[in-house]
Structure 1
Amino acid sequence: MTLRATVRGVGHYLPERVVPNAEFEATLDTSDEWIRTRSGIERRHFAAEDEFTSDLGAKAAQAALENADLEPDDIDAIIVATSTPDRTFPSSATMVQHKIGMTRGFAFDIQAVCAGFVFALSTANGLILSGQAKRVLVIGSETFSRILDMTDRSTCVLFGDGAGALILEASEEDGTTGDRGILGVDLNSDGQHREMLYVDGGMVTGQTGHVVMQGNALFRQAVEKLASTANAALENAGLGHGDVDWIVPHQANIRIIQGTAKKLGMSMDKVVLTVQDHGNTSAASIPLALSVGVERGQIERGDLVVTEAIGGGLAWGSVVLRW
């Protein structure tokens, strides 16, 4: 028998405020058609003034716990992937821990920008396989609306707020490629490309700062690196393209998603798409799409799912798991 980190539950949360593309037309030289054509985004959600990353994460966590039929103290660890924490410290994960009423275990954040959830899944997998935790609540939660320059049409129309959560638990499987759970992982980073996507703030300026992005350069990096990491994770799992039921990509831009699927030689019919409704929710993107994919009836037990993401750093990676 082989120990695997298997999916026990999934959930998500989106703020009430929906921001359609048309809302930007009043303040920017842009249009609904321009945004849709270049990104595939039609609308996104923005958090309320009194709503923060830990609030979104806690609501997604509660949804995942309900889906898994578990109580907060059934969880051993919480990992929150975010680039927009409530505070510099303590971690948003500890705030989520308190808000959901979890009184045991441990909690911490991971920061790998849009690739954060993939890095968090890999870390949770390691905790489970090493015996340090039996159940890990992995959350991607972001309030990117707070770090957007609303006068920069190249960035502010692309991002949104939201949270998704996945509960992984230890399970004894057969040790074959047919096992449920995480079967393959590939993680990468390259700091030489850090200027392609960053926030122009932090300790170096003493200000929060805003998102700065070199869109065309990042696009060229993204398609190649996303296809490469998906292939590497599949190879690590001993699987191939023909075994894949669903690709659940980082929902940044429809053209990147289409380009990656084409490079992998896979049909868009096998891709879970939510970018049109949520925009780029950074680390929340993949867990949101996983939860929505389950809710729609697309992802079912036994399906082989490939997740892949790239974000500032640059950091990129992929996880292959059987649902």
Structure 2
Amino acid sequence: MFLAGPLHSQAVITAIGAYVPERVLTNADLEAMVDTNDEWIVQRTGISERRIAAENEYASDLAISAVRNLVERYGSDISDVDYILTATSSPDTVFPSVSARVQAAFGILACGTADVQAACAGFVSGLQMANGLLLGGLHRKVLVIGTETLSKITDYTDRTTCILFGDGAAAFLVETAADGQGSFNASSVSTQGESGHHLYRSALAPALGEFPLQASGRIVQNGREVYKWAVTNVSEGVKTLLEANGMRTEELSWFVPHSANMRMIESICDRTGIPLEKTLHSVTNCGNTSAASIPLAIDAAVKDGRLKRGDSLLLYGFGGGLTQAGLLLRWTL
């Protein structure tokens, strides 16, 4: 079920940036929109508020702001970035890609671009791909971005999903290590497409296998089934990745799972033996931001000093597909 093992790596993260929209959607705001309340939402999800993009603000706008923040904070030169990978499930347009819009915004020349559509596993998948591009020797500097405007594809009449999702973006600059020794240690991937109908956004096809799809263009989720899948399969995937790298949970500095739901994270920690206090998440104040949730959690930990150079991290994305992607790395900033 899982492909996991040590990595050959030349990749190091040299800069990060983040951006969240100004508008805050609180649980109290949602009480006025659907039949719900703050106590119910917090008890079941751990979410207190989420950020919402402006009407004229799209995934590329958030991504561009996150990259600009990266440049301002670290003084990085991105003029010679030779590939941009953007993980998103809510692009402005299918094409041109969000990555192409970022390239245009910064006038980056000789740059390849592609969007990664792996839902909540997208950002970790993008980091895995970036390592491959650098290892191949054809590229030396890659921007990996996670950006979402999920509010634009959320059904705000569905009380089971509208409480979850928020908007945000974050970007990592990934470069070839000067000494040739990258900090990406091990990775894992897994997909169970036969269960993809439990979490989807419909497009052209009216069905996924034998299962009919709603044609709303909105996020549709069977929360109960996704929760059961994640708690069982993600826990197994986390343990498999650690074992494949000969690593014990107590050797981890930080576990950074996709910030889907605080109760889900607690269950995964309980099953894997990872202490909850060693977990970085962005769910409380940002909600579920899909591909942006993991880098937003890391960005917050960098800003408040929890994450330090040399720390060992396990990044683990999971969601629509149903797809998983894990990455063990040593923090280099």
Query: TM-score if structure 2 supplies the norm length?
Result: 0.91
Q: By how many angstroms is 1:172 displaced?
A: 4.8
Distance in 1 between residues matched to 2:86 and 2:328, nearest whole Å: 20
Residues 262-314 of structure 1 deviation map (CA, whole Å, 9 limit, x = unaligned):
11112111011321100000001111111111111111110001011211110
C-alpha deviation, 1:67, in angstroms: 3.3
Question: What does residue 197 of structure 2 align with?
Answer: 195
Equivalent residues of 2:11, 2:134 under 8 A apart: yes
Please report the RMSD computed on the Cα atoms of aligned residues, expressed in angstroms: 1.7
Instruction: Using the TM superposition, name which of 308-317 and 150-159 deviates more.
Output: 308-317
Question: Deviation of residue 208 (structure 1)?
Answer: 6.0
TM-score (norm 1): 0.94
Q: What corresponds to 1:104 in structure 2? A: 110
- Partner of residue 220, structure 1: 228
| Matched-pair contact (CA < 8 Å) for 2:9–2:183 | no
Structure 2 unaligned residues grouped into runs of 5+: 1-7, 207-213
Give the counterpart letter for 2:247 in structure 1: L
1:65 is displaced (CA, Å) by 2.7
Q: Describe the shift of the 1:191–1:65 C-alpha distance in structure 2 as closer, same or farther (beyond 3 A).
A: same
Matches within 5 A, 1:133-212: 133-172=139-178, 181-199=183-201, 201-204=202-205, 209-212=217-220
Q: Choose from 6, 10, 29 the match for 1:4.
A: 10
Match of 2:315 in 1: 307
Q: Look up the SS of the partner of 2:10 in the other structure.
A: strand
Q: Following the alignment from structure 2 to structure 1, what is the Cα–Cα distance between the partners of residues 85 and 99?
A: 6
Amino acid at match of 2:205: V
How many positions carry a matched residue from both structures?
317
Counterparts of 2:252 and 2:143, CA distance in 1: 25
2:325 counterpart SS class: strand
- 1: CA distance between counterparts of 2:239 and 2:111? 35
Q: What CA distance in whole angstroms lies between the structure 1 residues aligned with 2:329 and 2:63?
A: 22
SS of the counterpart of 1:73? coil
Per the TM alignment, residue 241 of structure 1 is displaced from its structure 2 partner at its CA by 1.4
Unmatched 5+ stretches in structure 1: none
- 2:134 corresponds, among 125, 128, 136, to 128
CA distance in 2, matches of 1:26, 1:101: 44
Deviation, 1:173, is 5.0
Task: State the SS of the aligned residue for 2:66.
Answer: helix
Distance in structure 2 (CA, Å) of the matches to 1:170 and 1:111: 24
Identify the residue that residue 13 of structure 1 maps to in structure 2: 19
Q: CA deviation at 1:242?
A: 2.2
Q: Once the 2 structures are TM-superposed, how far is the Cα of residue 231 of structure 1 from its aligned partner? A: 2.5
Whether 1:247 aligns to 2:248 is: no
Give the Cα–Cα distance (whole angstroms) in 2 for the partners of residues 56 and 105 of structure 1. 20
Q: What whole-Å deviation, never above 9, does each CA across 1:74-129 have from its counterpart, x for those lacking one?
A: 31211000011111211110001111332232111000011111111111111111
